[in-house]
Amino acid sequence: MAFPRPNPRSDLRLQKYLADCGVGSRRACELLIAEGRVSVDGAKILEQGVRVDPSRVSVTVDGRPVWPERPVHILLHKPSGFLCTSRDPHGRRTFHELLPPGLGARVYSAGRLDWDSEGLLLVTNDGELANRLIHPRHHVEKTYCIWTPAPLDPVWMERFAAGVESEGERLAARSARSLGRDGFGYRCEMVLGTGKNRQIRRMFEAAGQPVLRLLRVRFGPLDLGDLAPGAWRYLTPPELSALRRATGSGPGAMAGVAGPHDRPTQSARDFD
């Protein structure tokens, strides 16, 4: 297929354009291309790095056209019992059920919380920002509260920071501290930068303590505050600016509203 001559003012890498359209993070969009689900002017694209001028070509995912949509940034308090995915083949509940009807944008979560984890979840269609937030090189910290049925020996707080072995991997926290006892059990606070799948639960298993409850209370500059489980709110302009500063990103390139389309599940995992 012959593409138009590149125009530096309007041409974009295909995966970036898809991310700007809210299809997913740039990493997820690269996977869509590799799977042969993206076409330009009807021709299936399989290689990465193809440049497109959206004003001159038609881009589709699974046969459905995509185009930039208005940016959406939502802070959601995800309760336990909800999946961070767009759809589940087993019919389990997803975080989409908690969002306002008629949102008018195709959104997904920037990072994930497991089905049985709770707390702050950033929901957006800003693929560039989401990619930066979950990419290890940006080291965006996440803060969690963890409840256990019995107190941990204080030495474990130091071990968590130094790193513990689990399933052949070394898992470490930025910091960990005990916060005493409350109505849910014995509470600890842990801060992670980069991490592994179900890292916190695995670290506490290594310490011989099951996790009764896991709640994310902070994501970079965002704070869960007193937002009730299942409730949501839009980010404020200062919060969005703080997020962009934390990742070194500029404003997204979104404008307008796209039609309905089921977005793919992110391939990146969070690390609770």
CA-based R_g, the chain, Å:
20
Here the tokens at position 268 are 């990146």
Is residue 46 classed exposed, middle or buried when 0-12, 13-18 and 19+ CB atoms within 10 A define those classes?
exposed
Is residue 185 classed exposed, middle or buried when 0-12, 13-18 and 19+ CB atoms within 10 A define those classes?
middle
Pick the catalytic residue from 11, 41, 62, 114.
114
Q: How far apart are CA 262 and CA 86, in angstroms?
A: 7
First to last CA, the chain: 44
- Number of helices and strands (H, E) in the chain? 6, 17
Are 107 and 84 contacting, i.e. CB atoms less than 8 angstroms apart?
no
Q: How far apart are CA 222 and CA 228, in angstroms?
A: 15
114 is catalytic: yes
Active site residues: 114
